[in-house]
Amino acid sequence: MIAEQIPEGMLGPLLQGRVAMVTGAAAEQGIGCAIATLFAAHGAAVAVVDIDADRAADIARRLGTAHAGYGGDITRAADCERLASQVRDELGPPQVLVNNAGIAARRAFLDIDPAEFERMLQVNVQGSFLMTRAVLPLMLEQGRGNLVFISSTAGQRGGGVFGSSHYVASKAGMTGFAQAIAREFAPRGIRSNVVTPNLIKTDSVREMTPEQRSAIEKGVPLQRSGTIWDVAGAALFLASDLSSYVTGATVDVNGGFHIR
């Protein structure tokens, strides 16, 4: 029958038996936490990674005993190396890495000083580079691996809701980096893809006034801002075998706000 021809990895749960590391996953209302939660619901053993070790441990505990929380700063090479080996030793070698941890700031160009610019690039670009550099060898040993980068619509169109030039530069840089990894490592079984969310209802968005939010939402063809689950769903697609022939791609999670 035709149904029997469906590849096993495309039948749920979609991440059964996989180990997935998600950075910046300790903010309960944040995108990383939703990704970690959805991945766990699809059978992955999840490493909840965050600079806030206590919150990471708490989220992991609430996800269940198959998961673990890890404290580490993605801008420090030694932390990234330690995180990769701890996860390998405690949960098993990871097949999935989601580079989600990031910072944002609303700032006019002429108000950005060099130190702020450097910090933005350090967390959003160099942090993703350092985590990827630490984890990729473990994936190459297995002959398979899957990288998902949480970038932003801002990096595609010169700015978004909070898009200041240093944030835009960092998110465009992150996308280019993910594409380069896709090209270089595809022959060795590694896929690398990008999710570009627009306005997502996280704590930062909740701080906006209802008027500010509705003004922005009017410009979105789907007439609403996104939820953390909208982004998590796209990440699950890219992390699982549902997207087995997809690499170097960017999945826009923007309600039609930016259609290319």
Residue ranges binding ligand NAD (CB under 6 A): 23-24, 26-27, 30-32, 50-52, 73-75, 100-104, 123, 127, 150, 152, 197, 199-200, 202-205
Mention every residue, 6+ apart, whose C-beta is less than 8 A from residue 237.
Answer: 243, 251
| Single-letter amino acid code for the residue at 46 | V
Q: Write down the least CB distance from residue 110 to ligand NAD, Å.
A: 22
Q: Write down the least CB distance from residue 150 to ligand NAD, Å.
A: 4
What's the angle, vertex CA 129, arms to CA 203 and CA 201, rounded to 5?
15
Cα dihedral across residues 75, 76, 77, 79: positive or negative? negative
Reply yes or no on whether 245 is catalytic: no
Q: Of all residues in this chain, which one has the CB nearest to ligand NAD in the complex? A: 102
Q: Which of 70, 117, 129, 167 is catalytic?
A: 167
Contact 112, 165 (CB under 8 A): yes
Nearer to ligand NAD, 82 or 144 (CB): 82
Nearer to ligand NAD, 94 or 127 (CB): 127
Nearer to ligand NAD, 99 or 240 (CB): 99
Q: Helices marked H in 53-164 — which ranges? A: 53-63, 77-90, 114-121, 127-142, 154-157
Q: Write down the least CB distance from residue 106 to ligand NAD, Å.
A: 12
Q: What is the CA 223 to chain-centroid distance, rounded?
A: 24
Q: Write down the least CB distance from residue 224 to ligand NAD, Å.
A: 13
Nearer to ligand NAD, 60 or 245 (CB): 60
Nearer to ligand NAD, 13 or 159 (CB): 159
Q: How many other C-beta atoms lie within 10 A of the C-beta of residue 196?
A: 26
Q: Which of 30, 71, 27, 65 is nearest to 46 (CA)?
A: 65
Q: What is the CA 203 to chain-centroid distance, rounded?
A: 17
Q: Write down the least CB distance from residue 258 to ligand NAD, Å.
A: 12
Q: Which positions are annotated as active-site residues?
A: 167
